Structure 1
Amino acid sequence: MLYRVHGAREGGMAGLGRADRDLVGLTVLALLLQGPRHTYDMQRQIVDTHKDFVTGLPRSMYHAVTRLSRDGLITAVETTRDAGRPERTLYRLTDAGRDELRARVRRLLRTPDPDTTVFVAALSYLGCLPVAEACDALERRAEALAASADGIRAQLDRLGGALPRLLLIEAEYELARVAGERDWVRALLADLRGGALSWPEDLAALLPTTSIPGEPPMS
Structure 2
Amino acid sequence: MAKRRKVGNLLALAVLSTVVQRPMHPYEMASILRERGKDRDMPFKWGSLYTVVGNLEKHGMLEAAESRREGGRPERTVYRITDAGRAELVDWTRELVGSPEPEQPRFQAGLSVVAILAPPDVIGLLRQRLDAIGEQLAAQRKILADAGAQIPRLFLVEDEYELAMREAEANWIKALLGELTEGTFPGLDQWQAYHDTGRLPPEMTEIAERGSTPG
Q: Tell me the TM-score normalized by structure 1.
A: 0.45
Structure with greater helix percent? 2
Greater RCO, 1 or 2 (C-alpha within 8 Å, sep 6+): 1
Please tell me whether Structure 1 or Structure 2 has the larger radius of gyration of its CA atoms: 2
Q: Tell me the TM-score normalized by structure 2.
A: 0.46
